[in-house]
């Protein structure tokens, strides 16, 4: 089997509200897929469709080669799921509750649960109700990972986690991927996904608007450049370089600064003819690219005061 998830023209309407508007997407087995989008884009809707918690209005979804509706039980046995707003019965302590959830899956080794809880710093003797938001989120993470599922479907997994635990979580994802598990995780933040994801999909208004590898996305973005030369360089030396239209030489012809769009490769090749004394290329600002996809979303925040913004659907002015 090649694809862990296959979505074809998936639509979902809630009464008259749009949930998804024709989403097609493939997630390969063994990859880490980052699923990004602004609030209300349809991320949670997609994820809940995968687990047969809700049913599509149109289109088809195939998960691990199974139809969620027909083979829901088998499918869910092979998937670990963390809901976007993880809530659970809070009356018992963490250990008892995790054991109950494990029993629903026919049992999970206690060492596995203990190991995960220890790594995340989760106190299993605490009553769930009394836990802080972040610690409750850890319960959700442990239950999603504990049975080492073939596919992890995680809806905003890092919400509420402190930076150290976020890092532990990213380690868990990398380890899962190294073992051949597939990870499908949604997020609002490019920075957290780009560290672990092989590919990223961006969804807006119920549709996929971008799909690429992290490297590919990066290739289309802008970097700040500063290069110094030992000897003055002819003014037109870099004029023909692809993506270098915004680069400028200073008066002495020894310092090149500005912004480079796309791959740095053509510029690097052109530089080889001169003696370079210093070079600085900043990391591409992926977030900026991401923002350009965010802006214009129906649900994106507006800078116009609420009273004047009467028509929904006009492009947002926030960016």
Partner 1 sequence: MNTAIYTKSLSDSRRSLLGWTLGTATIGMMYASTYPSQKENTASLPEAMREALHTDATAAGYLQTSVFGLIVPLLATIYGTATGSRTTASEEESGQLDLLLAHPLPRSRLLLQRFGALVTGAVAVSALVWVAMLAVRGSADLTSITPVEFLAQCVNLALLAIVFGALATGLGAASGRRVVVLAGTAAVGVLTYTAHAFAAQLGADWLARLSPFHYYIGSEPLKHGFQWADVSVLAGTAAVLVGLGTAAFARRDVNS
Ligand X SMILES: Nc1ncnc2c1ncn2[C@@H]1O[C@H](COP(=O)(O)OP(=O)(O)OP(=O)(O)O)[C@@H](O)[C@H]1O
- The residues that touch partner 1, with contacts defined as CB under 8 A, are 44, 48, 51, 53-55, 72-74, 76-77, 79, 81, 83-89, 91, 100-101, 103-106, 140, 143
- CB 303 to Mg ion: min, Å: 24
According to DSSP, the β-strands at 32-36 and 199-204 are parallel
Q: Does 44 bind Mg ion (CB under 5 A)?
A: yes
The listed partner (ligand X, Mg ion, partner 1, none) that binds 143, CB under 5 to 8 Å by sort, is partner 1
| Region binding ligand X by CB under 6 A among candidate stretches 37-45, 75-83, 91-99, 218-226 | 37-45
Number of H helices, E strands in the chain: 10, 13
The listed partner (Mg ion, partner 1, ligand X, none) that binds 40, CB under 5 to 8 Å by sort, is ligand X
Residue number, 74 or 162, with CB nearest to partner 1: 74
| Per-residue H/E/C for 135-165 | HHHHHHHHHHHCCCCCEEEECCCCCCCCHHH
Among 37, 140, 201, 316, the residue binding ligand X under the rule CB under 6 A is 37
Instruction: Give 269: exposed, middle or buried? Use CB within 10 Å, 0-12, 13-18, 19+.
Output: exposed
Measured at the CA of 208, the angle between CA 217 and CA 145, to 5 degrees, comes to 80
The listed partner (Mg ion, partner 1, ligand X, none) that binds 101, CB under 5 to 8 Å by sort, is partner 1
The listed partner (Mg ion, ligand X, partner 1, none) that binds 129, CB under 5 to 8 Å by sort, is none
The listed partner (partner 1, Mg ion, ligand X, none) that binds 89, CB under 5 to 8 Å by sort, is partner 1
- CB 54 to partner 1: min, Å: 4
Integer Cα distance of 78 and 147 in angstroms: 9
Calculate the dihedral angle through the C-alpha atoms of 219, 225, 228, 229, rounding to the nearest 10 degrees.
40
Torsion sign over Cα 264, 265, 271, 277: positive
Q: Does 273 bind ligand X (CB under 6 A)?
A: no
Residue number, 37 or 201, with CB nearest to ligand X: 37
* Touching ligand X, residues 65-104 (CB under 6 A): 84
Can you read off the two tokens belonging to residue 199? 């590919």
- CB 88 to partner 1: min, Å: 5
Q: Does 312 bind ligand X (CB under 6 A)?
A: no
User: Helices 163-178 and 133-145: crossing angle, nearest 10°?
Assistant: 10
User: Helices 110-120 and 163-178: crossing angle, nearest 10°?
Assistant: 140
Site residues, Mg ion (CB under 5 A): 43-44, 84
């Amino acid at each position: 089997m090649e694809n862990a998830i296959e979505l074809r023209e998936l639509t979902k309407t809630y009464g008259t509200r749009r949930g998804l508007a024709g989403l097609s997407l493939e997630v390969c087995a063994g990859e880490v897929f980052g699923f990004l989008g602004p609030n209300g884009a349809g991320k949670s809707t997609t994820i809940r469709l995968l687990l047969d918690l809700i049913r599509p209005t149109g289109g088809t979804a195939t998960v691990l080669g199974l139809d969620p509706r027909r083979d829901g039980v088998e499918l869910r046995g092979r998937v670990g799921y963390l809901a976007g707003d993880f809530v659970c019965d809070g009356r018992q302590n963490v250990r008892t509750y995790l054991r109950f959830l494990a029993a629903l899956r026919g049992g999970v080794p206690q060492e596995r649960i203990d190991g995960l809880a220890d790594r995340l710093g989760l106190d299993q003797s605490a009553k769930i109700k009394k836990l802080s938001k972040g610690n409750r989120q850890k319960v959700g993470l442990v239950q999603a990972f504990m049975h080492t599922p073939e596919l992890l479907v995680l809806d905003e997994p890092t919400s509420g986690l402190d930076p150290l635990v976020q890092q532990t979580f990213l380690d868990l994802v990398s380890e899962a991927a190294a073992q051949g598990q597939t990870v499908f995780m949604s997020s609002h933040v490019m920075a957290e996904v780009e560290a672990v994801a092989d590919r990223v999909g961006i969804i807006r208004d119920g549709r996929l608007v971008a799909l690429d590898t992290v490297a590919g996305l990066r290739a289309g973005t802008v970097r700040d450049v500063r290069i110094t030369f030992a000897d003055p360089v002819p003014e037109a030396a870099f004029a023909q370089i692809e993506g270098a239209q915004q680069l400028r030489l200073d008066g002495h012809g020894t310092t090149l600064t500005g912004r480079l769009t796309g791959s740095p490769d053509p510029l690097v090749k052109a530089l080889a003819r001169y003696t370079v004394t210093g070079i600085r290329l900043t990391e591409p600002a992926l977030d900026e690219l991401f923002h350009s996809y965010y802006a214009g979303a129906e649900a994106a925040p507006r800078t116009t005061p609420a009273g004047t913004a009467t028509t929904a659907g006009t492009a947002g002015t926030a960016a």
